[in-house]
Structure 1
C-alpha cells in the first residue's frame, strides 16, 4: 500500500491512506478525460442509489450490483453537471480510482481481499469502509453525510464509541450523530470544553482535520502469554518450556524486523505480572541482548527470573 501513498497503520488489519497528493496528480493526468464507470467496478457511492426505496424481487447479489452501477452513473453525472475539474469531488473520484488499483494489487500479490472507504477525512473514510463489505469500496462525498448521519448512532463514529460518546448522548438527550447539528457551538463548548465542543460541532457536519501520520517503527518488539487458573505454571520446567516458546516467536519477529528495517535490538526485557489473593504485582528485569537465538534468549530470561521463585533457586517447584 505504501507504494501508492502515505500510510498510517491503525491496527493489524486496518490502515489509513493519505491520497491527497496522489489524487491531485491523477486529476492532472486525466485533464479533459471523463471517468468511465467501468474504472470504478467495485465502488459504491453513498447517497447516489435508490436502494431500499422500492421493493424489488430477484437475486440479491444481482440487485446489489445493479444498485452499485446506478449509483456510480448518478455520481458521474453529478460530477459532469455540478463540479469543475479541480473540485474536491473530482479528487475523491480520482482517489477511488487509485484505491481500486491498490486493492487489486493487494489481492494479486498477497491473495487477500480488502474493503475500503474513500472520503474527505479519517473519520468519514473509516465509517464508509464498513458500509459495503466484503471486497468492495465506498465513496462518501460530503453532500451525503447529513443523510447518513441522521440515522447513525453516535457510538458508531470513530472516537465516540466509548465514554465520550455515551456522555454526549446522555447530556444532550440525543441518539444519532445528525442530531448534534441542532446545537450551537457555544452550547457544545460549554458542555464539553472548548476543544472537544469545537470538534463535535465540526464532526457532525463531516469535518475533521486529524492528519494521516506516516507510520513510525515500534521501539520494542515482544510477545507474551497469560497463564490463568488451572493453566498457572508450577514447576521450573514449565517456566523454561514456555520461555523457549516465547523466545522462538521473538527470534522470528526480531529477524524479520532486522531484514526489513536494517536495525538490531540491544536489550532483552522480561516482565511478569502475578495476580492472586485480591492483589497483583509486577516486576521487570533487563540484560543485554547478545544474539537473535531462541535458546540463548530463553536461558537469559530464566536467569533474570529465577531469583523470584519463592520455592528457592535450586528447587524444581515454582
Structure 2
C-alpha cells in the first residue's frame, strides 16, 4: 500500500502546544504580536441571530419556537424550534407545513421585503418574489449595535467583525493589564532581569467561567488541572471573565444571547465556540488542543469542505484530523504543492492570523436582485430599479445620520443575462439635499436606458440587476457649488433635474468584461463607440504584455528554459494550451 495511505498506529509527531517559559518581558511588553505566549483570542457568536432579532422585535418569550423564512426556505431556526426536529438543512429540513405539524405553536416570520412605491421595507403576510425584494437592513442595524458594544468594551483595535453575527476579540492586552493589577509584583523583575521566568502561577477557580474542554487524557474535572496550571491558563481564565461580562452586557442591553470560544488563536477560538451552544462559552486550554482536534472530521473545517478536502480524503484515505497527523509536511507538499503547509499547520491547531479592526465607514453600498422571472422588455426594468433605489436610499440615510458628510461619488448599474458576464453603466452621483427614492431611481433609470439601448434584442433576458453606490467618502465641510458664491437668480432646479444634469454632463462610460484565458481574471473594458473600441483593444494588449513580462521573469530564473515567445496581441483567439492548469492547492479555489 502507498505509504501516504497507511494508517499510522505509532505516536504522531505533532505540535503538542507545549508551554513556553513566560518571562517578565512578556508581561511588561507593549509590543504584542500573534506570537505572544499569553495570547488569548475569543470568537463570540450570536445565537440563531436572525431568529433572535425577530424575537426581540416581536417581544416574544425566549422559549417560543420561531423560524424565519425567505420565500419558501428557512434562513433561521431558534433553539426552542430545533427541539421539534426543525432545521435549515440535513435530514431535519422540512416544509413550513410539516414544521407546523411538528410544532403547532411555531411562530413563522418572513423577512422584511421592499415593494415598489414604499420607501422602507415592511413585513407582508405573503410577499411575492416576482414583485418584492428581501431586506436584511434590520439585522444589519442590530448587528452594528452589538459590534459597537464589543469594540467599546476592549482596548482599541483588538476586535474584528467576522460576519453579521460573529466577532473576534484579542484579549491579550486586556489580560496583561488585569494580571499586573491583580499581581503587582509581576511588574518588578528580580534584579531587573526582564528575561527571568515568572513565578509559579496561582491556582485557578474555573467555576462559572464556562465549559472547560477536556484535555488529552479525557479529564473533565477542573480541579484535576491545578497541578498542570500554566500562565496561559491564567490568561484564559481572565479572558473568560472579560468575555462573560461582555456577553451579559449584550443580553442586558439588547436582549441577545451569545456563545463564545476562547483559545490561543482565531482558528481554535472559532472551532470551540460551537462546543456547547446556546448561551455559553467554551475554553480550550493548550493541553486540550490535540485531543479536541483529532476526532474532528476535517472536511467540516472551513475551506476544507469542498474539492480540496475531498481530494485530500481520497489521496490519504483520511476522514478525521487524527488520520492526517501521520502525514509529514514533505509528503503533503509533494501531492498538493508548497502552499499545503497551510493545511499541515491547520490540522495541528496553528494559526498566525491577526485580529484586525475593520473600518466602520463603508466605501460602497449594493442592492441586488436575482430575478425569478427574467426581464424581457426594457420597460420592466424600471420597476426593479425603484425597488433597489429604496434600499439604497434607506441605507444612505442611515449612514448619513451617523456621519452627515458621507456621500457617494458614483452610481453604478449592473445587468446580467443568464450566465454571461454582467454589463454596467456608471455615472457621478451629484450632491442633493436628500437622496430620496425618486432621486436615486431617476439616476438608475437613465443608466438603464443607456444600457438597454445599446444591447437590447428580442432574445434578451436580464436575470440579475444590481444598483450600487461607490466611492462613499466624507465631503469637506462647507463644500458648495459655484452658484453659492454669486447668488444666481436662475430658477432652482429640482433634485431630479440635478441628477439629469450631472448625468448628461459626465463622460460616463459603460463597461463590459472579458476573461483572460491565462489567469482567468475578469477584466473590465469600455464599450460603445469607436474610441471605446480602441481603448478596449489597448487594455487587452496591456494585460497580455503583463503575462509576457511574467514569462520573461520566470525564464530568467530557469537556465534550461527555452526563450519565451511573445503572444500576438492582435490575434482574436488564444491557444487552449495557454490556460493555467493550476498548481498545488490553488487549483481547488476559484481565482478572483
1:170 aligned to which of 310, 314, 319: 314
Q: Matched residue of 2:417: which SS?
A: strand
What corresponds to 2:180 in structure 1? 28
The secondary structure found in structure 1 opposite 2:310 is helix
Q: Which of these residues, 340, 363, 370, is aligned with residue 196 of structure 1?
A: 340
> Offset of 1:119 from its aligned partner?
0.8
> Aligned to 1:24, what secondary structure does the other structure show?
helix
Task: Work out whether residues 4 and 22 of structure 1, in 8 Å CA contact, stay in contact via their aligned partners in 2.
Answer: no
Q: Does 1:207 align with 2:369?
A: no
Q: Equivalents in 1 of 2:289, 2:413: separation in Å?
A: 47
Matched ranges for 1:68-107 at <5 A: 71=220, 74-75=221-222, 77-78=224-225, 80-84=226-230, 87-107=231-251
Partner Cα separation in structure 1 for residue 332 and residue 403 of structure 2: 45
- Give the TM-score taking structure 2 as reference length: 0.44
Write the distance in 1 (CA, Å) between the matches of 2:404 and 2:182. 39
Equivalences for 1:1-318 in 2 at 5 Å?
A: 1-5=150-154, 6-31=158-183, 35-40=204-209, 43-47=210-214, 71=220, 74-75=221-222, 77-78=224-225, 80-84=226-230, 87-197=231-341, 199-216=342-359, 217-229=361-373, 232=375, 234=377, 236=379, 238-261=380-403, 263-276=405-418, 279=420, 281-291=422-432, 292-309=435-452
TM-score, normalising length: structure 1: 0.78
Q: CA deviation at 1:175?
A: 0.9
Q: For the residues of structure 1 that align with 2:273 and 2:364, how far apart are their CA atoms?
A: 31
Whether the 8 Å contact between 2:257 and 2:279 is mirrored in structure 1 is yes
Distance 1:306 1:37, change over 3 A: same
In the TM superposition, residue 9 of structure 1 has moved relative to its aligned partner by 1.4
CA distance in 2, matches of 1:75, 1:29: 25
CA displacement, residues 178-224 of structure 1 (integer Å, 9 cap, x when unaligned): 22221222222323333432x33322221211111111343211211
Aligned counterpart, 2:62? none
8 Å CA contact retained: 1:119, 1:139: yes
CA-atom RMSD in angstroms = 3.0
In the superposition, relative to structure 1, how do residues 194 and 274 fare at CA in structure 2: closer, same or farther (>3 Å)? Answer: closer
Q: Contact (CA 8 Å) 2:215, 2:287: kept in 1 or not?
A: no
Instruction: Give 1:311 deviation, angstroms.
Output: 11
Per-residue deviation, residues 28-78 of structure 1 (Å, max 9, x unmatched): 3333976544542xx11111699xx9xxxxxxxxxxxxxxxx95xx33551
Is the alpha carbon distance of 1:165 and 1:218 closer, same or farther for their aligned partners in structure 2, counting shifts above 3 Å?
farther
Does the CA contact (< 8 Å) of 1:123 and 1:157 recur in 2? no
Given that residues 216 and 287 in structure 2 are in contact (C-alpha distance below 8 angstroms), is that contact kept between their aligned partners in structure 1? no
| 3-state SS of paired residue (1:186) | helix
Q: 2-side partners of 1:195 and 1:147: how far apart?
A: 26
**1:47–1:267: structure 2 CA closer, same or farther, 3 Å change rule?**
same
Q: CA separation in 2, counterparts of 1:76 and 1:97?
A: 18
- Cα distance in 2 between the residues matched to 1:196 and 1:261: 44
Larger Rg: 2
Query: Gaps spanning 5+ residues in structure 2: where?
Result: 1-149, 184-200, 457-461, 463-592
In structure 2, the partner of 1:61 is: none
Q: Check the 8 A contact 1:273/1:283 in 2, yes or no.
A: yes
Contact 2:212–2:222 (8 Å) recurs in 1: yes
Q: Tell me how far 1:142 sits from its aligned partner.
A: 2.2
Preserved CA contact (<8 Å) 2:216 2:291: no
Q: Quote how far apart the aligned CAs of 1:254 are.
A: 1.5
Residues 227 and 233 of structure 1 are in contact (CA less than 8 Å); yes or no, is this contact kept in structure 2? no
Kindly tell me: are residues 223 and 281 of structure 1, through their superposed partners in 2, closer, same or farther at Cα, counting changes over 3 Å? Answer: closer
- Given that 2:378 and 2:452 are in contact with CA atoms closer than 8 Å, whether structure 1 keeps it comes out as no
Task: Name which of structure 1's ranges 239-248 and 170-179 shifts more when overlaid on structure 2.
Answer: 239-248
Q: SS of the counterpart of 1:144?
A: helix
Q: Secondary structure at the match of 2:444?
A: helix
Separation (CA, whole Å) in 2 of partners of 1:192 and 1:206? 20
Distance of 1:263 and 1:147 partners within structure 2: 53
Measured against aligned partners, the alpha-carbon deviations of 1:283-314 in whole angstroms (never above 9, x if no partner) come to 2322224233221111111112112345999x
Mapped partners of 1:312, 1:88: distance in 2: 64
SS at match of 2:159: strand
Structure 1: stretches of 5+ with no match in the other structure: 54-69
